[in-house]
Structure formats: C-alpha cells, structure tokens
Amino acid sequence: MRRLIKGYRFDEGSRFDLSFSDTAKARLNTNDPATPGVSLKLIGLGLTYSEDDDIFAVSGTLNPKGVKKWTGFQEDTVKPDGTVTRFRLVLKGATEERWWAGSSWDIATDLSLHWNTAQEVNDNISSLVLESHDIAIKINLQTDVGLTSKETPLVLGFKLLGEFLVEWYEDLIYDTIVRELNDSLLATTDFDAEVVDTTSSINLATTYKMDNVGYNFVDVIAVYNLTTDPEMFINLAASYAPGALRQDGFSYDPGIITLASSVASGDIIRVIMKYTPEIAVQTDQDFYEVERFPSLVIEEIAVASVGDGGDTRDNAGGSGDTIKNFGAGTAVELPPARQTTYRLGYSIFASSQRDLTRLLSALEEWKANHVSLQTYALDFKVRLDNITETRQRSDANLSDVSSASGAFQVRSVPFYLRPAVDKTLSTSLNISVEPT
C-alpha cells in the first residue's frame, strides 16, 4: 500500500467541471493567472459581496480506482478576517453529500448547518467507509464583511491524502491502456446469409454461425433483406442480445438478433455488426499465437528515445508534494515522481482484408478521440501521441491473415517510486542576536 496525494486546482483547466449554487454570487476567479481560484462575486450597485450563508461551489470529480482509504485533507485558501470556508464530501457519482456529524459521516441536508472545517474533515476522513472511488468537494463560501470591507474567501484548491494499491506498469499497460481499448475501441463487420426458415430472429450462435467465432459482438447496426430491398433502405434490426460471457470476463459469445419484421425462407440478408476486437499484450520477440481474430496485439513496450537517451526523469532535484495537518503540527511529504514516456508498438490481425481496413479506421478514430488518457489507479492525465503511421503488410506464412502494424506513445507517465515520509511542521523560530 502506498501513501499518495491527489490535488485539485480551481483554475482555467477546471472551469467546465465546476458547479455553483448561484453564478451571480460565486465564480471562478481567473483575473490573476498566478492565483486563480473560486471566490464570491461582486454584486449590486455598490459592488459588494453577498453575506448569505448558503453560497457554494462544487469541484470536479476525482476518480482514482486505486484508492482504498482517504487519510488526510488540506484546503489551499486565502481567508481575510471575517471570511469562512466550510466543506462537504460529495460521493457516489454526486448522489450523496456527507458531513462529519461528530461521531459519523452522515448525509448532509441543511445548507446552513451541515458543513465542516478543513481541520474537521482532515481529522475524521480516515473513518470514511468507501463505497465508490469517486469524490468531489463542496465548498461553502462566506463573508461577514462583504458589505463593509468587501472581503471574500479565495479557494485555490485542495489536496487529499490516501492509501493506494497500485503496480505502476500494470496500471499503465493493463488497467489504463488495455482497459480503455476494450471499453471504447469498436469496429464493424458484415456477412451475407440465406434465410433457412421464415423468422424474425437471427441466431449467430447456431443457425447463422460465422466461420470466425472470435468476434466479440456488442451490438447490431443493421440487417437488410437483399432479396426484397437490394438498395438497403429498410433496416430490419430491432435489438441484439449477446451470448454467454466468456472465461475472460469481458467478452461474449455470439448471440441473437431480433428483427422488426420477419424475413422469408430463401431470402438473402446482410448483417452488419459492431464488435470489440481482441486486445492482447505479447512482447515475446520470437513467437506468439493470436487467440482470436480480429485482434490488436501490443508487441513492444519501451522507453521513448529523446536525443541520445531515454525520456526518463527522476526529478531527484525537483520538488514533490506535501499535505499538512496544521492541527497536529505534522505533514506527509511525497517525493517527486519519475516521469517517463513509453512507446508502444502494436500489430493488428484480421481474417480478411476488409475487416483489417475497417479495424484500422476504427483505431484511427480511437486515437483521435483519446489524445489524453486518465490513468486508472491515480486518475492522472497522460498524453497519447500517434507517433508512427499504421502500415499494412503481407505475411507470406499467413496467407489467411491480413495484418498491419504501428505505434503510439504515452507521454510523461508519473511513477511514484519513493515512499511518502512523515514530517514535523515548524511551530516556532528562535533567532539569537550576537551583541555588537
């Protein structure tokens, strides 16, 4: 288990993630690029701040899948005399708001009473039982001197300290990249078949079983009756029910297509399906066997070269991160992360040239829509670069397989390799002056 820090900044990058109780009274302040944050908003003819006690802002949601327990909280605020900030935890996809009621984290309902100071959140967050990985912070902004001194609290951000279960390479390759490919890389295939008996359903597992049983179909796009509708104007597909879940836990056997109207015996139909290709990692340089077609196989994982060396920086001389417990006079210091850019070479295999071409198109769309990825365990943003054009190739020994190859890189992936350490905050400073 590792102690790691998740931070959140109220700046221009978070603008579209924020929500406010009243945009006429609270705002994202980006007038000063050096210290942007959330603050009250000047209102009225006299340009004063509202002294209402129910004004709030809600941060964007953090969703680190590797967190097992939150253990600390720190606000980053500027609070002039007469101003206050209070907090709630927003959990379960924003369906629950909780506050520390003195002995437990209860559901918060009262906008005037059910809030906590940052110190109260820090002192008790370790007793929060996690039922989901997502968390946001709701912040109550108050001023008692908005009409006279015109002062507002300014919230720059916050930090959360947590205990994480994470293996760095597994998180990057399997939990982040392979998982995202499995979740969102979708391609299409089609086939023609003669209808055996008049029917309003097409069973892809039995009667209309395809030669390639490796397809992981997720939906039906269309079914056309080529006999009665050769121009394919009328889509007969109504729904698709996948078959049994396979042993891998995320792909399915072929299932059953339900039609909006029946097709007659002897008619020729064209079925167009959407599927997820097999995603695999195999870095053996000599030989490997592809389990199913179509598939995308990551064949190479290497540190990307920059100049004469690898793009790896340990940041040994740089600064890490610190979360402070002012009430206890302690802090947890996290040394800086190693930043590494990885190059991933891949090959694509399909049982037909048409399937290969369609899968290549789907992959290009996937890369265009995933210029950045969120790491699974820590919810950090990393950049994905398409560094090599995809190449189709001919394999003399695989006459029944069409293939292509390419590569992309994931830039500046953070690996926290050194453990967090406990520190003591300085509470006093003694200066001795030598007599002259």
Cβ atoms of residues 221 and 188 within 8 Å: yes
What stretch of H or E contains 366? helix 353-368
Query: Which residue, 130, 164, 198, sits at the end of a domain?
Result: 164
In this predicted structure, the answer to whether residue 395 has a pLDDT above a threshold of 90 is no
pLDDT of residue 241: 97
Alpha-carbon distance of 67 to 90, in angstroms, equals 16
pLDDT, tens only, 47-77: 899 999 999 999 999 999 999 999 999 999 9
Q: Which domain holds residue 210?
A: 187-276
Burial class (CB in 10 A: 0-12, 13-18, 19+), 312: middle
Domain co-membership, 145 together with 265: no
Domain co-membership, 129 together with 36: yes
Has residue 403 been placed in a domain? yes
pLDDT of residue 211: 82
> Omega into 294 within 30° of 0, i.e. cis?
yes
Domain co-membership, 232 together with 333: no
Cβ atoms of residues 64 and 8 within 8 Å: no
Percent of the chain with pLDDT over 70: 90
Domain co-membership, 212 together with 95: no
Domain co-membership, 159 together with 129: yes
Domain co-membership, 266 together with 313: no
Work out the average pLDDT over 142-163.
95
pLDDT, tens only, 1-27: 999 999 999 998 899 999 999 999 999
Buried b / exposed e along 196-235 (16+ C-beta atoms within 10 A): eeeeeebebeeebebeeebbbbeebeebbbeeeeeeeeee
